[in-house]
Amino acid sequence: MEKPPLRDYTAKNAASAPPLLNTLTPSRRTSSNRAFAAVYTCAIVALFYRHTQTLLSSKTLVSFYVTLTLFVSDLILAFIWASGQAFRMRPVYRKEFPENLEKVVKTSDLPGLDVFICTADPYKEPPISVVNTALSVMAYDYPTEKISVYVSDDGGSAFTLFAFMEAARFAAHWLPFCRKNDIAKRNPDEYFATDYKMSSETEDIK
C-alpha cells in the first residue's frame, strides 16, 4: 500500500489544525545577548577571584574589612545583574489574533475576569481618571456576565463616590454605544480627545 505524499499529508494537517491565537518570533539579538552575558559572567568571576585573593592576603584588619565591603557590594551588584538577564536570554516578539478566539473557544467556556481598581486620594488621583479606567474596562469586548469590576477607595471620598454614581448613569449609554459601533478606544476621555465620527448619537453622549 502506497503512503500518501508528504506534501499532501502536511497540507491535510494544516487544513485541519485550529486557527492560530498567537505567533512567536525569536529576536535576532538572542545570540549577541548570550555572548555578552557569557563575557560579562567571566569578568564577574575574575573580579570575585581577585577579591578572594586580596582577602586571603590581607595583612591588616582595616584592609580586610575594606576588601570584604567591596566584595559584598560587588556580589549584590552581580546578583542584581544576573536576576535581570532572564528575559534577555531569549527575547521574542508575539503577535496575537483575538479574532480567532471564537473559533477555538466557546464563549461559555471563557474564564471569569475580575478587575480591581484602587484609589486613595481624589486630589492626587482625580476621580475622572479612575472613572475613565473603570468605564474602559467595563466596555471590554468580553461577555458581560463574566467580567466584574471592583473599585477600592481607601480614602473613602464622597467626591469619588459621587463621580461613580454619575459614571453608572453614563455607562448605560456608553457601553451599548461601544459594542454597537465596535469602538477601539473605549476610554471615553481618549475617544473624545481624538478625531471621532460626528453624529447626533456621539454628540449626545459627549
Neighbours of 125 (CB within 10 A): 17
b/e per residue, 44-74, with b = 16+ CB within 10 A?
beebeeebeebeeeeeeeeeeeebeeebeee
154 is in an annotated binding site: yes
- What type of residue is 27? S
- Is 74 annotated as ligand-binding? no
Specify the amino acid at residue 42.
C
Distance between terminal CA atoms of the chain?
A: 71
Nearby residues of 41 by Cβ (< 8 Å), 6 or more positions away: none
Q: Is 167 left (phi over 0), alpha (psi -120 to 50) or beta?
A: alpha
Q: Which residue has the cell 471569569?
A: 112
d(CA 205, CA 127): 19
Q: Is 125 annotated as a binding residue?
A: yes
Residues of each annotated binding site for UDP-alpha-D-glucose: 124-125, 154
